[in-house]
């Protein structure tokens, strides 16, 4: 083998195809996390998210069909860590990251339908 065959070929960065634009370096604002579904597992997950956020973070926005469960978590952890959403629509519109922990297929369909409706109302950039 000749020496030229052993050398790696350098490819200019501009020649590498990408399927999507590069990931931005990060938002200019703290990320807002939303959490839907505060059952036996969801409540513990939301609590851990809220407890392990940085001091400059926004409170985790939580929603549950039974509002008392969401309010109980907010009361337990404080308004600095947890805020109660009025519905899934608020979470879809205000949060950068959304976690769902829902009980069954019908709950998933109902919540995601409400997400979709909230995101398409007045949306100028949505595909038809």
Per-residue pLDDT at 115 exceeds 60: yes
| Domains defined for the chain, CATH in brackets | 30-120 (3.40.50.720)
| The 82-84 sheet, strands edge to edge | 82-84, 60-63, 33-36, 97-100
Threshold 0.75, pTM exceeds: no
Q: Which long-range contacts (CB under 8 A, 24 or more apart) does 51-58 make?
A: 51/77, 51/81, 53/81, 54/30, 56/30, 57/30, 57/31, 58/30, 58/31, 58/32, 58/33
**pLDDT tens for each residue of 21-69:** 555 666 677 889 999 999 999 999 999 999 998 878 899 999 999 999 9
pLDDT of residue 30: 83
32 close to 96: Cβ distance less than 8 angstroms: yes
Per-residue pLDDT at 127 exceeds 50: no
pLDDT confidence tier of residue 97, bands split at 50, 70 and 90: very high
Q: How far apart are CA 69 and CA 85, in angstroms?
A: 12
């Amino acid at each position: 083998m000749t020496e030229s065959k052993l050398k790696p070929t350098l490819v200019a960065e501009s020649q590498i195809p990408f399927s999507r634009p590069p990931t931005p370096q990060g938002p200019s604002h703290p990320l807002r996390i939303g959490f839907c579904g505060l059952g036996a597992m969801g409540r513990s997950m939301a609590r851990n998210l809220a407890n392990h956020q940085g001091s400059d973070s926004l409170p985790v926005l939580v929603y549950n069909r039974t509002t008392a469960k969401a309010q109980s978590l907010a009361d337990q952890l404080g308004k600095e860590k947890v805020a109660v959403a009025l519905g899934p629509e608020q979470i879809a519109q205000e949060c950068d990251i959304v976690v769902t922990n829902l009980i069954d297929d019908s709950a998933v369909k109902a919540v995601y339908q409400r997400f979709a409706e909230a995101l398409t109302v007045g949306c100028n950039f949505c595909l038809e």
